[in-house]
């Protein structure tokens, strides 16, 4: 698979997720075989103001390539300026435009999936970004429409391709659905039939077998994984094995899960410092620590731990006593 001039060895991608796909998580997923990783969505206004916290969300390492930086905003000129700053300061492989976020605090400002209500604005924003960074492939991640009465993805796809977008990731739910109800994969298939650029399917990928099923049912060029990867970077390794015709590798043992959790904590501490790193890690504990005897007690202890020393002690103690047993999902 190729997006513009970017060659992608494995067509299984890590979706951009706010508060999740930072450096630490991207590294783990990349090591497990993710073909492309994406940053959290980053505010175009924050970028052009050169807000330090915003710019920190964009920084990445060579190990993470190919990487896409996702930006969001409501004004063509601001989005164009932001894309140019990202290209000049960081030189990612891909710049992605967020037309998919359904969160009201984003859509009320006219950003994210609010663009689905005004395809002319979507055209203007997209064209401004494409023209601003001619040396980089620009992609789009979008929802199918604002609500069930206004499904616009099939109309928007050819328009975006004509403007110069190099790939479209479609989450086939509406903004109003948020993450409820079923993702209608048939909309991915319909989009694939009306564009010649790569189409990336996203939504309701819960187990590795779903990756194969999405390819077969939609004809998409790649699949983007979101919530299934939370606390489970192994998902990419498992899905890649199936895609290559191999059998599923053994499920991670309790020892594997605690080891990965500890590494994730170390990466967060290294990149964000103790105060921010420990606070960010608390939600990850809820995703990693489950499915084995004593998991609930350990998880509660980790979430309420006061500092890094308490967290690392708890994890190290568990590692020293854990048996390498198969992890059974719950």
Angle at 301 between CA 318 and CA 206, to 5 degrees: 80
Residues 21, 39 contacting (CB under 8 angstroms): yes
Quick one: which H or E segment has residue 14?
A: strand 12-14
Catalytic residue among 29, 101, 220, 261: 101
Q: Provide the CA 115 distance to its chain's centre, in angstroms.
A: 20
Q: Which two tokens stand for residue 218?
A: 């939609």
Helix 23-31 crosses helix 254-288 at what angle (to 10 degrees)?
140
Q: What is the DSSP letter of 108?
A: T
List, in sequence order, the alpha helices (H) in 228-253: 234-243
Active site residue 101: yes
Residue 298 CA to residue 290 CA, distance in Å, equals: 9
DSSP 151: B
Q: Is 307 helix (H, G, I), strand (E, B) or coil?
A: coil
State the Cα torsion 256-257-261-262 to the nearest 10°: -40
Determine contact, residues 188/170, Cβ cutoff 8 Å: yes
| C-alpha dist (Å) from residue 239 to 34, 99, 246, 273 | 10, 27, 10, 33
Angstrom distances, CA of residue 112 to CA of 93, 141, 146, 291, 298: 22, 9, 11, 35, 37
Task: Point out the residues that are catalytic.
Answer: 101
């Amino acid at each position: 698979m190729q997006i513009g001039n970017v060659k992608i060895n494995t067509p299984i991608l890590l979706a951009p997720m706010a508060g999740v796909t930072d450096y630490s998580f991207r590294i783990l997923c990349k090591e497990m075989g993710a073909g492309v990783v994406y940053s959290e969505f980053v505010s175009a206004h924050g970028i052009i103001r050169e807000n330090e916290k915003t710019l920190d969300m964009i920084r990445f390492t060579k190990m993470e390539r190919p990487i896409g930086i996702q930006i969001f905003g409501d004004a063509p000129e601001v989005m164009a300026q932001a894309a140019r700053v990202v290209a000049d300061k960081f030189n990612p492989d891909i710049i992605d435009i967020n037309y998919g976020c359904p969160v009201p605090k984003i859509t009320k400002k006219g950003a994210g999936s609010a663009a689905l209500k005004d395809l002319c604005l979507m055209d203007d924003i997209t064209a401004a970004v494409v023209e601003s960074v001619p040396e980089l492939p620009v992609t789009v991640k979008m929802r199918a429409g604002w609500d069930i009465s206004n499904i616009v993805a099939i109309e928007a796809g050819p328009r975006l391709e004509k403007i110069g977008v190099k790939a479209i990731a479609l989450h086939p739910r509406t903004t109003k659905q948020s993450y409820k109800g079923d993702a209608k994969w048939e909309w991915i298939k319909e989009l694939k039939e009306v564009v010649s650029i790569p189409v990336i399917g996203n939504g309701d990928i819960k187990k590795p077998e779903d990756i194969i099923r999405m390819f077969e049912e939609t004809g998409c060029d790649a699949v983007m994984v979101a919530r299934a990867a939370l606390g489970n970077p192994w998902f990419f390794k498992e899905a890649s094995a199936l895609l290559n015709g191999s059998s599923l590798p053994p499920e991670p043992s309790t020892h594997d899960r605690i080891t990965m959790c500890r590494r994730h904590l170390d990466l967060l501490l290294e990149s964000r410092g103790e105060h921010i790193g420990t606070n960010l890690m608390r939600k990850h504990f809820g995703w990693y620590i489950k499915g084995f005897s004593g998991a609930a007690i350990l998880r509660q202890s980790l979430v309420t731990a006061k500092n890094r020393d308490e967290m690392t002690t708890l994890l190290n103690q568990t590692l020293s006593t854990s048996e390498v047993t198969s992890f059974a999902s719950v």
